[in-house]
């Protein structure tokens, strides 16, 4: 056994983040660690990487007990970690980022030439091509992740921990990453992958350990399990199958005509975007992030002025109208970045909850405390939002719970049109199930929903119609019933539509 963690317990005050967790890793294996948010996956890996010390328990490497005081100790024992949020210097080149901490030197001077040579040698050895002189700031997220993995390999890691490695990647980049992982294991490297994306886990791992509430609920071989079983082990109950009724499509609610935002780059941010969303349908917008989806949503919701074209909501021209007016005309909006747009972190749960609901929660300019409590505590109950109280500051809620609060707030607007942008980003399986169910319910009630997501599976699962965006244009419209993931991926990457148009 390459690595063993024996009955690890980690307590923060009264909270047990890990309780008697046993975890081990064989040489050349991919061992996935899965569980809902707050199940203790990251804590366990932080212990292994020396960032936390366990309250009790023992780590053994090659059968010998070890104690890590900080990550340097872990690196000495050939353990490397790639964090969910990359830790690179954007202003420096790839080579400089890779050799950091063990820079080649000529006398006392940094030897840039040798750094580049070493980077090339490393990338060839492991079959992960990079351009060593390129600045990290100019790299795609997939490339940055490759740099992170090479950095860990440069430090001599035999065991590599990947924390949510595919969260920010495009489908194509995910494929490349999974291929790299397989290639590296063939060269004898071992991987621990933290993730909640079951399909990817199933594809790449040999064994899977499931954590729930800090306790291991089981370790299974990937070849002997399936996604349903894993979900059950994670959530602790049977997941409800989403019932999708036939779409009852009504009149158009949102109509976009030739919407263009020129911007100050060589290419327009949005170019002649034209589509409708009808009552009772979910229109999914697929695309690699940064291809105009954000601008599209901001244009529709009045947060960004458009240069050409018209936008109509409920047959009312809302081009250039204020956010307030657009919202009053029937828009609710689950924003793509919950911390940037969706909440005020310093404000309380109830303050964050009543944004856009002031007409219902105030009387003659005064906030109505009772109405606010009834409204917000209703959501807390219905969506199972875990919060200390309604006066808890939003920043103390976990990402998933905050997202549930935002979704609850926007769905409760009961508007004829709803934007759902990345509605389940960073949210665990249980919460995802609730949010998807609520979106479908709104659709069945006759609302028009525009769904934007970087998760293709989410788009495919919820949409009735799928639009694909590439470089600010809608490059394809597909019927969700017949569309395939390959078709969409191709369009997302700028390829031509095959068959349908």
Which distant-in-sequence residues (6+ apart) come within 8 Å of 493 by Cβ? 172, 288, 470
Residue 422 sits at φ, ψ, to 5 deg, of 40, 55
Q: For the chain, how long is the longest CA-to-CA vector?
A: 75
The 281-320 contact track toward another protein, x by CB under 8 A, reads --------------------x-x-----------------
CA distance 500 to 497: 6
- For 98, the token pair is 């890779």
Please report, as residue ranges, which positions from 157 to 186 form the binding site for another protein (by CB under 8 A). Answer: 168
Q: 17, 30, 61, 88: which one contacts another protein (CB under 8 A)?
A: 88
Q: Which of 134-142, 217-225, 467-475, 492-500 is the region at the interface with another protein (rule: CB under 8 A)? A: 134-142
CB of 237 to another protein, least distance (A): 30
Mind spelling out the 3-state secondary structure of 342-367?
A: HCCCCCEHHHHHCCCCHHHHEECCEE
Name the residue nearer to another protein (CB basis): 333 or 404: 333
Query: What is the Cα Rg of the chain in Å?
Result: 25
Q: Contacts with another protein: how many residues (CB under 8 A)?
A: 43
Handedness of CA 358, 364, 365, 369 (dihedral sign): negative
Q: 31, 77, 327, 465: which one contacts another protein (CB under 8 A)?
A: 327
Q: How far is CA 438 from CA 317, 397, 407, 418, in A?
A: 28, 21, 9, 12
CB of 403 to another protein, least distance (A): 12
Q: Does 43 bind another protein (CB under 8 A)?
A: no
* Angle between the N-to-C axes of helices 141-154 and 112-125, in degrees from 0 to 180, rounded to the nearest 10: 100
Name the residue nearer to another protein (CB basis): 345 or 382: 345
Q: Does 141 bind another protein (CB under 8 A)?
A: yes
Please report, as residue ranges, which positions from 330 to 359 form the binding site for another protein (by CB under 8 A). Answer: 333, 335, 337, 339-347, 351, 354-356, 358
Residue 389 sits at φ, ψ, to 5 deg, of -160, 180
Q: Which of 27-35, 189-197, 247-255, 329-337 is the region at the interface with another protein (rule: CB under 8 A)? A: 329-337
Rounded to an integer, what is the distance from CA 113 to the centroid of its chain?
Answer: 37
User: What is 59-119 written as a DSSP string?
Assistant: EEETTEEE--SSHHHHHHTTEEEE-SS----TTSBHHHHHHTTS--EETTEE-HHHHHHHH
Contact 426, 399 (CB under 8 A): yes
The 365-404 contact track toward another protein, x by CB under 8 A, reads xxx--------------------xx-xx--x---------
CB of 208 to another protein, least distance (A): 26
Name the residue nearer to another protein (CB basis): 66 or 355: 355
CB of 358 to another protein, least distance (A): 5
CB of 84 to another protein, least distance (A): 8
| Residue ranges that bind another protein, judged by CB under 8 A | 85-86, 88, 90, 136-137, 141, 144, 168, 301, 303, 322-324, 326-328, 333, 335, 337, 339-347, 351, 354-356, 358, 362, 365-367, 388-389, 391-392, 395
């Amino acid at each position: 056994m390459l690595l063993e963690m024996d009955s690890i317990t980690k307590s923060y005050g009264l909270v047990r983040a890990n309780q008697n967790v046993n975890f081990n890793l064989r040489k050349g294996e991919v061992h996935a660690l899965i569980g809902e948010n707050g199940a203790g996956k990251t804590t366990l890996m932080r212990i292994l990487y020396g960032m936390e010390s366990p309250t009790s328990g023992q780590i053994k490497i090659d059968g010998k007990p070890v104690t890590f005081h900080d990550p340097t100790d872990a690196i000495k024992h050939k353990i490397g970690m790639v964090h969910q949020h990359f830790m690179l210097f954007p202003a420096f080149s790839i080579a400089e980022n890779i050799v950091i901490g063990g820079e080649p030197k000529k006398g006392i001077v940094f030897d840039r030439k040798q750094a580049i040579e070493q980077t090339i040698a490393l990338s060839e050895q492991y079959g992960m091509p990079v351009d060593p002189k390129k600045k990290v700031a100019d790299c795609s997220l997939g490339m940055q992740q490759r740099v992170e993995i090479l950095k860990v390999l440069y430090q001599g890691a035999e065991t590599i921990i990947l924390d949510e490695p595919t969260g920010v990647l495009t489908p194509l980049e995910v494929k490349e990453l999974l291929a790299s992982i397989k290639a590296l294991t063939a060269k004898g490297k071992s991987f621990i992958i933290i993730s909640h994306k079951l399909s990817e886990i199933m594809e790449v791992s040999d064994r899977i350990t499931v954590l729930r509430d800090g306790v291991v609920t089981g370790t299974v071989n990937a070849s002997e399990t399936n996604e349903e079983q894993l979900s059950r082990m994670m959530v602790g109950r049977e997941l409800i199958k989403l019932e999708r009724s036939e779409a009852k499509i009504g009149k158009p609610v949102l109509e976009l005509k030739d919407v263009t935002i020129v911007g100050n780059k060589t290419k327009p941010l949005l170019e002649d975007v034209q589509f409708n969303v009808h009552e009772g349908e979910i229109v999914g917008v697929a695309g690699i992030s940064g291809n105009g989806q954000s601008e599209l949503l901001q244009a529709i919701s009045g947060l960004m002025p458009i240069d050409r074209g018209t936008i109509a909501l409920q047959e009312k021209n809302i081009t250039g109208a204020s956010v307030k007016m657009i919202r009053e005309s029937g828009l609710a909006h689950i924003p793509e970045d919950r911390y940037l747009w969706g909440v005020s972190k310093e404000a309380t749960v109830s303050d964050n909850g009543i944004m856009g609901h002031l007409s219902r929660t105030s009387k003659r300019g005064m906030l109505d405390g009772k109405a606010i409590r009834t409204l917000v505590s209703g959501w807390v109950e219905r969506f199972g939002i875990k919060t200390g109280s309604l006066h808890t500051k939003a920043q103390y809620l976990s990402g998933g719970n905050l997202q549930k609060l935002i979704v609850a707030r926007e769905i409760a607007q009961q508007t004829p049109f709803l934007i759902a942008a990345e509605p389940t980003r960073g949210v665990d399986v249980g919460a995802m199930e609730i949010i998807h169910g609520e979106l479908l319910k709104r659709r069945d009630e006759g609302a028009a929903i525009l769904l934007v997501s970087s998760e293709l599976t989410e788009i495919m699962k919820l949409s009735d119609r799928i639009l694909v965006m590439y470089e600010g244009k809608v490059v394809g419209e597909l019927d969700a019933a017949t569309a395939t993931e390959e078709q969409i991926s191709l369009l997302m990457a700028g390829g031509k539509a095959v068959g349908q148009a």
